[in-house]
Amino acid sequence: MKINLKGMDQEELRKFVESLGEPKYRADQLFLGIYRDGYSSFEEFSNLSGQLKSKLNECAEIRSLKLNKHLVSKDGTQKMTFSLGEDREIESVWIPSGDEERKTICISSQVGCTLSCAFCATGTLEFKGNLKAWEIVDQVISVERITGEKCTNIVFMGMGEPFHNYNQVIKAAHLFHHPSTWNLGAKRITISTSGVIPSILRFIEENQPFNFALSLNDPRKDRRHEIMNIDKRFPLDELLGTVRHFTKTLKRKITFEYIMIPDVNMDKNTAATLVKLARSVNCKINLIPLNTEFNGWRPPTEKEIDQFKSLLKPAGVPIMNRKSPGKDISGACGMLALKG
Ligand code: SAH
Ligand code: SF4
């Protein structure tokens, strides 16, 4: 089998060219060609001789994901479905935002998810494994090739739990961050987790620079498990201890993501619990309306969202209200498994 060079970091590419008896600078040429220029074959490199190209072709390749479906939403959001073979599919979403110059790509980290949160469509899919770094990185390369545009932000908020695939996710994030590739600032790369404590501890210990978001979704320690199974494994008390360790050690605010579900987590008492929690942690809150009818629940109305927001005001922390784009193509968060 040929060695796939996509997904390799500079060090690994250096070892590879060394094994071919080629000089070190060849590794840098490959690194730039693969990640900065998005080449998917050696033929595309104008700086490699024909002889070297055939040598490379004999033993190596630059693999790409196979595009299965491409849907374009009325609001400009685009969803791509990629096939990984063996009946495994993942999805990535292109999210341009009209008012700012922000162009976000939402990428998957796993095929399905083992956690089955009660509000999330991905959780209803059969879990079919972790993505390799190249499969993560190539989502961005492929989406940029298809749209003909470069992204300004990347979020690990597609299918899967990134912190159940820590090594490959962090490797991919560093490839996006590298000054000679996408050169995306670490704050433009967001990793979202439902609360896998051992991986959060590792993230802190390694002082990873990337933007970090925690899907809190319910501030009540005796209730959170009802919508998030992971709370049974890593209970809220322990999770919040880890969050405080995060804010103190890294001296950074934590972003709590909060999915708003009427009759579940938007009442006065729950809001009061959230206010109390937010006052005790250096945080900001990112409110996300449930984006579709799901599991017997409905999305909140604008009025309910405004009411909930005003209940949270006393917390005195920044509160953002995320719109869910791409609804008509099931491109919005949590809908990636539903048919577009
Ligand atoms: N597994 C990770 C990252 C992927 S989910 C996590 O849970 O954080 C990314 C985000 O999508 C999470 O904040 C989750 O709360 C949100 N989400 C899931 N299902 C949703 C739905 N039906 N409507 C709106 N947001 C949803
Ligand atoms: Fe998995 Fe995140 Fe969906 Fe929960 S919200 S099922 S952790 S992808």
* pLDDT tens digits, one per residue of 22-64: 999 999 999 999 999 999 999 999 999 999 999 999 999 999 9
Q: Are residues 73 and 53 located together in one domain of the fold?
A: no
- Which of 16, 39, 61 is the last residue in one of the domains? 61
Helical spans, DSSP H, in the chain: 10-19, 25-31, 50-59, 133-147, 166-177, 197-205, 224-227, 230-233, 236-250, 268-279, 302-312
Residue 285 confidence (pLDDT) above 50: yes
Residues 95-139: pLDDT tens digits?
Answer: 998 766 899 999 999 999 999 999 999 888 889 999 999 999 999
Domain count along the chain: 2
The alpha carbon of 23 and the centre of ligand 1 are apart by a number of angstroms equal to 46
Could you tell me if residue 339 is inside a domain? no
283 is catalytic: no
Q: Which residues of 204-216 are buried (b: 16+ CB within 10 A; e: fewer)?
A: beeebebbbbbbb
> What per-residue confidence (pLDDT) applies to 338?
62
What does DSSP assign to residue 267? S
Same domain, 55 and 71: no
Q: Would residue 286 count as lying in a domain?
A: yes
Are 94 and 114 within one domain? yes
- Cβ(92)–Cβ(104) under 8 Å? no
CATH at 56: 1.10.150.530
Is 7 in the same domain as 141?
A: no
What pLDDT sits at residue 340? 41
Q: Is residue 334 part of a domain?
A: no
In this model, does residue 169 exceed pLDDT 60?
yes
Encoded tokens for 308: 């909930």
User: 321 in a domain, yes or no?
Assistant: yes
Q: How far is the CA of 43 from the centre of ligand 1 (A)?
A: 40
pLDDT value, residue 97: 86
Question: Which amino acids bring their CB within 6 angstroms of ligand 1?
Answer: 119-120, 157, 161, 192-194, 215, 217, 257, 259, 288, 290-291, 294, 324, 333-334
pLDDT averaged over the chain?
94
| Overall residue count recorded for the chain in this entry | 340
Same domain, 173 and 289: yes
Distances (CA, A) of 176 to 84, 243, 327: 21, 25, 27
pLDDT, position 331: 66
Which of 61, 84, 109 is the C-terminal boundary of a domain? 61
**pTM (whole model) above 0.85:** yes
Cα distance between residue 304 and residue 287, in whole Å? 12
Checking if the pLDDT of 337 tops 70, the result is no
Instruction: Spell out which residues line ligand 2, taking CB within 6 angstroms.
Output: 113, 115-117, 120, 122-123, 160-161, 194
Can you tell me the mean pLDDT for 264-276? Answer: 98
Residues 273-287: what's their mean pLDDT? Answer: 97
Range of the domain at 206: 66-329
The question of whether 91 is a catalytic residue gets the answer yes
How does pLDDT run across 200-244, given as a tens digit for each residue? Answer: 999 999 999 999 999 999 999 999 999 999 999 999 999 999 999
**Ligand 1 pocket test, candidate residues 127, 156, 231, 259, most atoms within 8 A of CB:** 259
In a domain, 319, yes or no: yes
How far from each other are the two terminal CA atoms of the chain, in whole angstroms?
Answer: 35
Give the pLDDT of residue 124.
87
Q: Is residue 178 part of a domain?
A: yes
340: in domain:
no
Task: Inform me whether the pLDDT recorded for 336 exceeds 70.
Answer: no
> How large a percentage of the chain has pLDDT more than 90?
88
For the stretch 55-103, pLDDT in tens is: 999 999 999 999 999 999 988 999 999 999 888 999 999 999 876 689 9
The answer to whether residue 269 sits within a structural domain is yes
SS3 state of residue 151: coil
For residue 29, the CA-to-ligand 1 centroid distance in Å is 38
Q: Are residues 16 and 127 in the same domain?
A: no
Q: What is the rounded CA–CA span in Å between residue 30 and residue 40? A: 11
Question: Which of 61, 86, 106 is a domain's end point?
Answer: 61
In this predicted structure, what is the pLDDT of residue 85? 85
325 shares its domain with 295? yes
Phi/psi of residue 253, nearest 5 degrees: -70, 150
Residues 105 and 173 in one domain: yes
Q: 87 and 10 share a domain? A: no
Q: In what order do the strands lie in the sheet with 319-321?
A: 66-72, 78-85, 88-96, 103-106, 153-156, 189-193, 211-215, 254-260, 283-289, 319-321
Q: Say whether both 202 and 314 belong to one domain.
A: yes
For residue 286, pLDDT over 60 is answered with yes
Residues 249 and 132 in one domain: yes
Please indicate, yes or no, whether residues 95 and 178 belong to a single structural domain of this protein: yes
Single out the catalytic residue among 22, 89, 91, 161: 91
DSSP secondary structure letters along 14-55: HHHHHHTT--THHHHHHHIIIIIS---SGGG-TTS-HHHHHH
